[in-house]
Structure 1
Amino acid sequence: MTTTAQGRRPDHRPIPRSISLGLGSGTMLQALNSSMIAVAIVGIAAYFGSAQGSSWVISALYIATAVTAPTAGRLGVLLGPRRVYLAGLLMIGVGAVVGALAPTLGWLIFARVLLGIGTASQYPNAMTIIRNIAEHTGAQTRSAIAVLTVCAQSMVALGPTIGGVLVGLFGWQSIMWVNLPMVVLTFVWVWRRVPADPPTARDTVGAREFLRSLDPMGTALFLGLVASTMFLLLSLTGHPLWWLVPVVAVLTASFVGWEARTPTPFIDVRTVARNRALSMTLGRTLMTYTAFYCVFFGLPQWLQESRGFSATVAGLLMLPVALVGIGSTMTASRTFAVHGPRRTLMVGTVGLVVGGLLLTLVENGASPVWVLLLVACVLGIPNGFNNMGNQNLINSVTSPGEVGTAIGIYRTIQYIGANLAAVVIELTLRRPMDDAGLHRTGLVIAIIGGLLLAGVLCSRTLRQWRQPVDLGEAVAVDSRG
Structure 2
Amino acid sequence: MTAVEDQADTKALPVPFQVSGAAATGSILQPLNSSMIAVAIVGIAAQFGSNGGVSWIISAMYITTAVGAPMMGRLGALLGARRVFLGGLALVAIGSCVGMLAPNVGWLIGAYVILGFGISAHMPNAMTMVRSYSERYGRQPRTAIATLVVCSQSVAALGPTVGGLLVGAFGWQSILWVNLPVVVLSAVVVMRADVGFAGGGRVSVREALHALDVVGIGLFLVTITSTMVLLVSLPGNPTWWLLPVAVTGLGLFVWWEHRAPEPFLDVEALARNRALSATLGRTLLTYTCFYCVFFGIPQWLQYARGMSPIEAGLTMLPVAGVSVVATMIGSRTYRRYGARRTLFVGTCALLVGGVLIASVESSTAPVLVLLLVAAVLGIPNGFNNIGNQSLINAVTTVDEVGAAIGVYRTVAFIGANLAVVVLQVTAGHQIDDAGLHRTGWFIAVSGLVLLVGIMFSRNMGPARAVDSPSSSA
Q: TM-score range by the shorter chain?
A: over 0.9
The reply on whether 1:44 has 2:37 as its aligned counterpart is no
1:2 positional shift = 8.6
CA contact (8 A) 1:2 1:9 kept: no
Say which is worse superposed, 217-226 or 429-438, in terms of deviation: 429-438
CA contact (8 A) 1:20 1:148 kept: yes
CA contact (8 A) 2:76 2:199 kept: no
Alignment match, 1:124? 124
1:146 maps to amino acid: A
Partner SS state of residue 305, structure 2? coil
Alignment match, 2:340? 342
Q: 1-side partners of 2:199 and 2:78: how far apart?
A: 9
The reply on whether 1:371 has 2:369 as its aligned counterpart is yes
**Paired residues, what number?**
469
- Cα distance change of structure 1 residues 60 and 139 upon mapping to structure 2, 3 Å threshold: same
The reply on whether 1:85 has 2:78 as its aligned counterpart is no
1:353 positional shift = 0.7
State the Cα deviation string for residues 45-71 of structure 1 (Å, max 9, x = none): 222344451222221111110110000
The reply on whether 1:456 has 2:449 as its aligned counterpart is no
1:422 positional shift = 1.1
Say which is worse superposed, 422-431 or 28-37, in terms of deviation: 422-431
The reply on whether 1:474 has 2:472 as its aligned counterpart is no
State the Cα deviation string for residues 325-365 of structure 1 (Å, max 9, x = none): 01100110110001010100000110111100111121134
State the Cα deviation string for residues 186-226 of structure 1 (Å, max 9, x = none): 1001001132216946538x956x44531111111111111
* Aligned CA-pair RMSD: 2.0
The reply on whether 1:299 has 2:293 as its aligned counterpart is no
- Cα distance change of structure 1 residues 92 and 2 upon mapping to structure 2, 3 Å threshold: farther
Alignment match, 1:58? 58
- Cα distance change of structure 1 residues 78 and 385 upon mapping to structure 2, 3 Å threshold: same
Q: 2-side partners of 1:40 and 1:466: how far apart?
A: 43
| Candidates 397, 400, 408, aligned match of 1:399 | 397
Q: 1-side partners of 2:116 and 2:416: how far apart?
A: 14
Q: 1-side partners of 2:277 and 2:325: how far apart?
A: 28
Q: 2-side partners of 1:281 and 1:37: how far apart?
A: 27
Residues 6-17 of structure 1 correspond to what in structure 2 (within 5 A)?
11-17=11-17
Residues 426-445 of structure 1 correspond to what in structure 2 (within 5 A)?
426-430=424-428, 433-445=431-443
CA contact (8 A) 1:32 1:156 kept: yes
1:442 positional shift = 0.8
CA contact (8 A) 1:349 1:453 kept: yes
Alignment match, 2:329? 331
Q: 1-side partners of 2:106 and 2:394: how far apart?
A: 42
CA contact (8 A) 2:9 2:467 kept: no
- Cα distance change of structure 1 residues 177 and 477 upon mapping to structure 2, 3 Å threshold: closer
Q: 1-side partners of 2:86 and 2:149: how far apart?
A: 19
1:264 positional shift = 1.2
- Cα distance change of structure 1 residues 315 and 246 upon mapping to structure 2, 3 Å threshold: same
Residues 237-248 of structure 1 correspond to what in structure 2 (within 5 A)?
237-248=235-246
Partner SS state of residue 98, structure 2? helix
Partner SS state of residue 180, structure 1? helix
Q: 2-side partners of 1:434 and 1:200: how far apart?
A: 50
- Cα distance change of structure 1 residues 251 and 168 upon mapping to structure 2, 3 Å threshold: same
- Cα distance change of structure 1 residues 478 and 14 upon mapping to structure 2, 3 Å threshold: closer
CA contact (8 A) 2:349 2:377 kept: yes
- Cα distance change of structure 1 residues 339 and 246 upon mapping to structure 2, 3 Å threshold: same
1:436 positional shift = 2.1
The reply on whether 1:275 has 2:259 as its aligned counterpart is no
Alignment match, 2:213? 215
Q: 2-side partners of 1:439 and 1:337: how far apart?
A: 36
1:18 positional shift = 1.6
Partner SS state of residue 359, structure 2? coil
Partner SS state of residue 61, structure 1? helix
Q: 2-side partners of 1:349 and 1:158: how far apart?
A: 21
Q: 1-side partners of 2:2 and 2:260: how far apart?
A: 29
1:231 positional shift = 0.7
Alignment match, 2:381? 383
Q: 1-side partners of 2:326 and 2:298: how far apart?
A: 22
Alignment match, 2:102? 102
- Runs of 5+ unmatched residues, structure 1: none
CA contact (8 A) 1:428 1:440 kept: yes
1:474 maps to amino acid: D
Alignment match, 2:191? 191
Q: 2-side partners of 1:282 and 1:2: how far apart?
A: 27
- Cα distance change of structure 1 residues 198 and 294 upon mapping to structure 2, 3 Å threshold: closer
- Cα distance change of structure 1 residues 237 and 224 upon mapping to structure 2, 3 Å threshold: same
CA contact (8 A) 1:14 1:142 kept: yes
1:434 positional shift = 2.8
Q: 2-side partners of 1:105 and 1:85: how far apart?
A: 28
Q: 2-side partners of 1:212 and 1:101: how far apart?
A: 36
2:95 maps to amino acid: G
- Cα distance change of structure 1 residues 220 and 304 upon mapping to structure 2, 3 Å threshold: same
1:299 positional shift = 1.1
1:13 positional shift = 1.1
1:22 positional shift = 1.4
Q: 2-side partners of 1:360 and 1:50: how far apart?
A: 29
Alignment match, 2:408? 410
1:418 maps to amino acid: A
CA contact (8 A) 1:237 1:422 kept: no
Q: 1-side partners of 2:429 and 2:256: how far apart?
A: 44
Q: 2-side partners of 1:344 and 1:198: how far apart?
A: 30
